[in-house]
Amino acid sequence: MDAYVILFIFFGLILILWSLRAIKKDVERGEKILYESEKVQKDLSQLLNEAIDTIEELDSFGDYIIERIENKVKWAKSEILDTRISQVKENTEHTESEKKIGKATDFEAYTEKTAYIESSKDMQKNENKKRSKEELYRKAVELYKQGFTVEQIASSLNIGKGEAKLAIKIVGRESI
């Protein structure tokens, strides 16, 4: 009977050692999974930050494009007003009654033109800012043509990588 007890204890010890070994492997797998999930979390966080930066840069560049379009529209309106003024002056030479009408139309065109000029003064401040952006984007294209990387261009001009890429693609019409 002593042999059975010793055999029973021996198998119990083997079972306990085997269980401890399985627990140790599970702990190692858990630590590995935890490490990998932390690494993936860091990668996702970095990608999310880059996406946010790109969105902000696109927003900034979109504002720049919208301002350029608005300036072109205002320029076109100014040209139309100039054309109207010259047409009114030509038509006022025919008759006295037409002169009175022409003067009224001329005055209306003149007031429209002065209102446009006043709004242009406010925009001139924005225009200086736009010119500096435009020069910045042209400088980015120059640097790219000289062989600098997008990252180097972005850091040297203090703009984001996405904004540098957009400047090169749109202003320089280069493919990256």
10 domain-assigned: yes
In the predicted model, is pLDDT for residue 164 greater than 90? no
118 domain-assigned: yes
- Cβ atoms within 10 Å of 168's Cβ, excluding its own: 21
155 domain-assigned: yes
pLDDT value of residue 77: 84
Residues 8-55: pLDDT tens digits?
899 999 999 999 999 999 999 999 999 999 999 999 999 988 888 888
Average pLDDT along the chain: 78
In the predicted model, is pLDDT for residue 121 greater than 80? no
**Quick one: tokens of 169?**
């693609």
* Enclosing domain of residue 103: 2-171
Query: How far, in Å, CA of 54 to CA of 49, rounded?
Result: 9
Residues 71-113: pLDDT tens digits?
888 888 888 888 877 777 666 655 555 444 444 455 565 566 5
176 domain-assigned: no
In the predicted model, is pLDDT for residue 161 greater than 70? yes
What pTM did the predictor assign?
0.40
**Quick one: tokens of 157?**
């001009």
In the predicted model, is pLDDT for residue 123 greater than 60? no
149 domain-assigned: yes
Domains of the chain: total: 1
pLDDT value of residue 38: 95
What are the residues whose beta carbons fall under 8 Å from the beta carbon of 130, sequence distance 6 or more? 64, 67, 68, 71
Higher pLDDT, 116 or 90: 90
